[in-house]
A and B are shown apart, each in its own frame.
Chain A
Amino acid sequence: MGENTLLSVEDLVVKYFLRTSTCEAVNGISFTIDKGERVGLVGETGAGKTTTALSILDLVPNPPGRIVSGKIILNGEDVLAKSEAEVRKIRGNDVAMIFQDPMTSLNPVMTVGDQITEVVRLHNDVGRFEAMDKARDMLELVGIPGERYGEYPHQFSGGMKQRVLIAMALACNPKLLIADEPTSALDVTIQAQVLDLINGLREKLGMSLLLITHDLGVVAETCDRVMIMYAGSIVESGTIRAVYKNIKHPYTKGLFGSIPRLDIETERLDPIKGMMPDPSNLPEGCAFCERCPNAIEECKTKRPQLEDIGDGHMVACFNPLKEGA
């Protein structure tokens, strides 16, 4: 593990034990995030992105979920070996998370401003009035007039609530920000503003970022590296340039094909056919095999492992796409 590594996830396996089945949500994934590095995690619904993020903070709901095996090393310390109290401290101070579901994470009976002020006071040694000023600044930074400090969450639009949560996460000055679909309810100008804000903090504080999103464009503009996840496994990863300019995994290619394009007229979109297999009933071979136009015999019986094809570009596929495909 390099000196510059902030987070290292090693062979993580997470399952949800349900009454009649076991959901294999995360199946032995490994990755690192360096200090100041921005990594995008992309994949279909149910791929295991949120579960991965929750694992880093030891927040997988138990029951029914459990981290079955693997290691999470944050800042040189083994998160999963720590007591509940110690982990809580890490959560507050080193790592901040913007949760996927903003609508349910705000307190409906407290003003938006007071909620931010509370977080500011928890993480900064400041008095009440200074904290309130800082909370107003944070609101303005995410594009909401400071005078709306005293309003309640139901008076805000969907995207405004999402921005309040972003403001709260950033008020903690974290070393690592885990953002689960942070801009999915925002228009592109506000999104750009929020992403610039996150970038600014990275430069100022050396903050690292794990950005979970469906939007390959956002990843291209915000991240240094990308990991593509499918059915609990990382199927392709590498620098943005390596992956975007030289797609190797047929699933990654399918993801790009599903995006409506602005530059060309398309009558019908061409999504990947079929559905991701049920994680409680994963096939023996490659999980993408059934939907894959490139599948060969081997794919039906063996699970491909991530392999480095040069320059840190990793692919898990027996029959990857050819150059320039």
Chain B
Amino acid sequence: MENNNYMLSVRNLKKYFNTPGGKLHAVDDVTFDIPKGTTLGVVGESGCGKSTLGRTILHLHPKTSGQIIFDGRDISDVSKAELHELRKEMQIIFQDPFSSIDPRMSVKQLIAEPLKIYKLCKSKEEIEQKVKETMETVGLASRLADSYAHELDGGRRQRIGIGRAIILNPSFIVCDEPVSALDVSIQAQVLNLMMDLQEQRNLTYIFITHNLSVVKHISNDIMVMYLGTAVEKADSKELFKHQYHPYTKALISAIPRVDIDNKSERILIRGEITSPIEPPNACRFAPRCEYATERCHNEFPQLEEVEPGHFVACHRVRELNNL
């Protein structure tokens, strides 16, 4: 029996794409759980498989193998009809608020669309009422109901995306870089909104971003990915205090700081970039890791719990961090 406190459990999930050069391992054996009402932040190098992970969980891509358990129910191999029903519960917000919505639809129509697809309302009036409520919830003024998305700024467009995602009252949302295209003040407004919604509706989020200060702010746990694999996972505050994987260390050290008198030393990542196409069964970071040994080049490191709740996939983690 799966633990009932988890909204989502992912076991050994793999997603490979076929390319001319061979199989591209976009997500390679990833395992994690997300407790209900919490946020898992997913960070990592551009191209490491974050979006693919989110999309595969939502069945927007067929998975290669692995298990997805949603609210205690194994949904790894659901039928089309079941999937249609599940979509009400699992939604996604995309990075680019512009290209992910139809330019010919008005704000009102865009927000009402999911209701129509799922035929959830009995009357026009009911739809209008729901749209009105949702616009209010996400902070879109009612005078904008008949505007088109291109007439709005990025912050308001992203509110449309959030409105579309929450109108069906889902319990789980994958947020794929929802604030990356926004400037800091509007980003802060949207983040506050998302956190309020989470509290009101006990929502569970996967929050994908490359912005580390944002991820720290919004997440309960953070998972760091490198080239398709999870290399470290811990409580958000803990991860910013102690990083044990060499890649995570480099990542945290590279955050640009506004405090010009207290620059931290950036750990540069050097060396050859591993291709995700048919990678060797070894640590994916090894070719760029200054601590790599024979073993790292020959054996795949599993995620292990090195401290309570702190997981790391590195052969040398204990010895290098005196654990």
CA distance A186 to B254 in the complex (A): 12
Flag the segment in A74-82, A128-136, A257-265, A281-289 that touches B: A257-265
- Chain B residue numbers with a CB within 8 Å of A222 are 256
Check if A44 sits within 8 Å of B186, measured CB to CB.
yes
Check: A221 CB closer than 8 A to any chain B CB: yes
CA distance A32 to B217 in the complex (A): 38
Asked whether, in the complex, the Cβ of A217 is within 8 Å of the Cβ of B182, the reply is no
Chain B residues positioned under 8 Å from A57 (CB to CB): none
Q: How many residues of chain B get a CB closer than 8 Å to chain A's CBs?
A: 56
Bound CA span A148–B266, Å: 28
Interface footprint category on A = 35 or more
Q: Does B269 contact A (CB under 8 A)?
A: yes
Q: When chains A and B are docked, how far (Å) is the Cα of A218 from the Cα of B211?
A: 12
Please report the C-alpha to C-alpha distance between residue A103 and residue B51 in the assembled complex, in whole angstroms: 15
* CB-nearest residue of chain B to A42: B183
C-alpha spacing A218/B180, complex, angstroms: 14
Is A215 within 8 A of B256, CB to CB?
A: yes
A149-193 CB contact bits vs B (8 Å, 1 = yes)? 011000111111011000000000000000000001111111111
Q: Which residues of B contact A147 (CB under 8 A)?
A: 21, 275, 277
Nearest Cβ distance between residue B4 and chain A, in whole angstroms? 29
Which of A61-69, A240-248, A304-312 lines the interface with chain B? A240-248
- A191-B254, A217-B257 known; A259+B183 contact, CB < 8 A: no
Interface flags for A92-112 (1: CB within 8 Å of B; 0: not) read 000000000001100000000
Residue A143 at the chain B interface, CB threshold 8 Å:
yes
- A270 nearest CB neighbor, chain B only: B188
User: Which chain A residues border B255 with CB–CB below 8 Å?
Assistant: 188, 217, 262
Give complex CA distance A213, B34 in Å.
Answer: 34
B191: contacting residue among A46, A184, A191, A269, CB under 8 A? A269
Q: A258 touches which one: B44, B45, B187, B254 (CB < 8 A)?
A: B187
Once the chains bind, are A192 and B254 in contact (CB under 8 Å)?
yes
Question: Can you list, as one digit per residue, whether each of B182-226 has a CB less than 8 Å from chain A (1) or not (0)?
Answer: 111111110110010000000000000010111011000000000
Q: How far is the CA of A222 from the CA of B254 in the complex (A)?
A: 13
With A189-B269, A245-B260, A259-B184 in contact, do A159 and B214 touch (Cβ < 8 Å)? no
A220 interface residue per 8 A CB criterion: yes
Q: Are the CB atoms of A156 and B47 closer together than 8 Å?
A: yes
- B46 within 8 Å of A by Cβ? yes
- Which of A103, A163, A262, A272 has the most chain B CB atoms closer than 10 A to its own CB? A262
Q: Is A197 an interface residue (CB 8 A)?
A: no
Can you list 29 contacts pairing A with B, beta carbon distance less than 8 Å?
A: A45-B154, A45-B182, A144-B273, A145-B274, A151-B19, A155-B24, A156-B47, A158-B95, A159-B46, A162-B46, A185-B95, A188-B254, A189-B251, A189-B269, A192-B268, A193-B269, A214-B183, A214-B184, A215-B256, A216-B258, A217-B257, A218-B256, A220-B256, A245-B261, A258-B187, A258-B188, A260-B214, A271-B185, A271-B188
